Structure 1
Amino acid sequence: MLVNQSIIKDIKAIIDQSRDKAIRAVDHERTQMYWHIGKRIFEEEQQGKDRADYGTFLIKYLSEQLQPEFGSGFSTRQINLYRQFYRTFENVHTLYAQLSWSQYKLLLSVDSQDKREFYIAETIKNNWTVRQLERQIYSSLYERLLLSNDKESVLAVARNEKQPSDAKEIIKDPMYLEFLGLKREASYYERDLESAIITHLQEFLLELGNGFSFVARQKRIHIEGDEFFVDLVFYNRILQCFVIIEIKTTKLTHQDIGQLQMYVNYYDRIEKLPHENPTIGILLCANKNDGVVKFTLPEEQKQIIASQYKLYLPTEKQLLDEVNKELDIFEEKDGTNDIK
């Protein structure tokens, strides 16, 4: 007797979905438990706040009483973590079911409420895994977006309170491509970097930002008998436009900018539909001179963006130095320190 084989596929999908829901439900209950434990510890500390070192004594005492029965989840380190969890999210009425305990632990390392709100909103919106959230925090996505945008815009876009109207609101400079696994001391041909990006396309889309989808590699275009090849073509559904990426492994020149401008013009005049927005061109380069970019392009243009790529994540000190340098420049221009 013949059986429709799709039934096996359907039942397996039902089982997998149910398992995932059960795991998420259990994890959410565990997260709620840790929050309430932290709350109870904090309340007890407040009653004994006049006694020196009472908090330290309390944590140690709780661990001695709970760990033999409930295991290593109640070591002094873990109990301290539950207390910190409650203190960090003390004003949250409902913990987000979309976030796992592992993601909440990562968020405890984020040192400001604005940054935490940003990463929470982006995690929920993009359904980031723990690994993806970790990578975005350690690559300082929030700070990198702040370098070309104000804090309110960055948070509003993350919360879906506004749609980005300018490519610079979502495209980062620099872009970190450490996931490609290329050694920074080696020299590469442009095709090597392009091939590595295609191999790690999912990670590259994550680094590009929200709303990107891949369209073509080495897209051939004909202009009155001449052939040209565009390195990478994407589409952004949020900005509703094509995004062309040209890769340059050497220092950026004005000729490179002119070539990309030609590709952008071609897509605007040939490929773009009437309801779509103007094409965006990104020059992904190893080294760039912002002055060359500025004087090669018309003032106030928003279609061509030069973004430097780096093959490794910076140290924390390097990143903080760079961010602080840029923030100081903004303060000098604005006469304020509102973005800190």
Structure 2
Amino acid sequence: MLVNQHIITDIKALIAQSKEKAIRAVDHQRTLMYWDIGKRIFEEEQQGQDRADYGKYLTEYIANELEPEYGSGYSKRQIELFRQFYRTFPIANTLYSQLSWSQYKLLIRIDNQEKIAFYIAEIIKNNWTVRQLERQIYSNLYERLLLSNDKESVLAVAKKEKQPSDAKEIIKDPMYLEFLGLKRDASYYEKDLESAIITHLQEFLLELGNGFSFVARQKRIHIEGDEFFVDLVFYNRLLQCFVIIEIKTTKLTHQDIGQLQMYVNYYDRIEKLPHENQTIGILLCANKNDAVVRFTLPENQKQIFASQYKLYLPTEKQLLKEVNKELESFEAKEEKL
């Protein structure tokens, strides 16, 4: 008897889906248990006359009682995490089954509720792993998006309450490409960086942001008998437009900007469909000169952007210093206007 082989594939898929749902359900139940423990500890702590001293004594006492029986998952550090978990998320029905306990442990380190809400929305929308969430928090994704947007807009886009209407709402500057594994003191060419990006395309798409998909590498275009090659072409389904990326490992010049402008014009006039929006061009450069970009292009243009890339993640102190400097500069410009 001839049996349709698709049935085995379908059954295996059902088994895999059921296993994943079961694992998620167990992890969510564990998360709720930790929340309940944190709540009970917090309530008990509030009864102490000297709350600071009593809280320290209480967590140590609980750990000493539980750890010998239940293991290192109930150490003093873990007990303190349960308490902090409840204090960060005091309403039980705001907990999401899509988030794992490991992701919540990363989120409770953040001391800003708007930032927490942003990362939760991004986790759910993009199905981030724990590792991906950790990298995005450590690279200060939220702050980098704030450099050219307001808090309400950043959060609204993350929660899908609005579609991005401007490329500045999703393009990051700087972009961190530490996952490429290139040494910052090594001499390399554009083609080396381009090849590394293609090799680590999944990580690069994560750094680019929401809605990006890869289209082409070294896209050949013909203009009146002359042949040109575009480094990287992407499409963004949120902006509904092509996104061209040109890589520069040397000093940025006005000729580089002019060349990218030509590619953008070509895509707008030849490749773009009537219902699509204007093409976006990004100069991904090692050293960015905002003045050169500003004086080469028309005022208030919204198609060409320069974004500096960095091949390593700085320390949190260095990153926050850089972000705060940029924010202060941005606020100063706004005040003048």
Instruction: With the length of structure 1 as denominator, give the TM-score of the two structures.
Output: 0.96
2:156 maps to what in 1?
156
Structure 2 unaligned regions, length at least 5? none
Q: Map 1:61-210 onto structure 2 (within 5 A).
A: 61-91=61-91, 93-210=93-210
Among the aligned pairs, what percent are the same residue? 84
Q: Secondary structure at the match of 1:47?
A: coil
The one-letter amino acid of 1:129's match is T
The one-letter amino acid of 1:233's match is V
Partners of 1:168 and 1:251 lie apart in 2 by: 23
Partners of 2:333 and 2:297 lie apart in 1 by: 23
Greater Cα offset, 313-322 or 97-106:
313-322
Greater Cα offset, 224-233 or 65-74:
65-74
| Alignment of 1:265 onto 2:265 | yes
Q: Secondary structure at the match of 1:217?
A: strand
The one-letter amino acid of 1:104's match is Y
Partners of 1:34 and 1:302 lie apart in 2 by: 48
TM-superposed CA distance for 1:335, in Å, is: 4.7
Greater Cα offset, 316-325 or 47-56:
47-56
Q: Secondary structure at the match of 1:251?
A: coil
TM-superposed CA distance for 1:207, in Å, is: 0.4
1:11 maps to what in 2?
11
Greater Cα offset, 5-14 or 325-334:
325-334
1:319 maps to what in 2?
319
1:25 maps to what in 2?
25
The one-letter amino acid of 2:236's match is N
Q: Secondary structure at the match of 1:287?
A: coil
TM-superposed CA distance for 1:110, in Å, is: 1.5
Q: 8 Å contact 2:282–2:305 — kept in the other structure?
A: yes
The one-letter amino acid of 1:55's match is G
The one-letter amino acid of 2:188's match is Y
Q: Secondary structure at the match of 1:230?
A: strand
Q: Secondary structure at the match of 2:250?
A: strand
Greater Cα offset, 169-178 or 108-117:
108-117
TM-superposed CA distance for 1:92, in Å, is: 5.2
Cα offsets for 1:69-104 (capped at 9, x unmatched): 222211111101100110111145331111000000
1:246 maps to what in 2?
246
Q: 8 Å contact 2:45–2:51 — kept in the other structure?
A: no
* Total equivalences in the alignment: 336
TM-superposed CA distance for 1:51, in Å, is: 6.1
Greater Cα offset, 230-239 or 314-323:
314-323
2:297 maps to what in 1?
297
Cα offsets for 1:95-129 (capped at 9, x unmatched): 11110000000111212111111111111111111
TM-superposed CA distance for 1:334, in Å, is: 3.9
| Alignment of 1:223 onto 2:228 | no
Partners of 2:233 and 2:335 lie apart in 1 by: 40
Q: Secondary structure at the match of 1:163?
A: coil
Quick one: structure 1 residues 279 and 92, their matched pair in 2 at CA, closer, same or farther if it must change by over 3 Å?
Answer: farther
Structure 1 unaligned regions, length at least 5? none
Partners of 1:334 and 1:243 lie apart in 2 by: 28
Instruction: With the length of structure 2 as denominator, give the TM-score of the two structures.
Output: 0.97
TM-superposed CA distance for 1:68, in Å, is: 2.2
Cα offsets for 1:239-296 (capped at 9, x unmatched): 0000001111111100000000000000000000000000000011111211000000
Cα offsets for 1:164-219 (capped at 9, x unmatched): 11101100011000000111110111111111101100000000000000011111
The one-letter amino acid of 2:185's match is E
The one-letter amino acid of 2:268's match is D
Q: Secondary structure at the match of 2:94?
A: coil
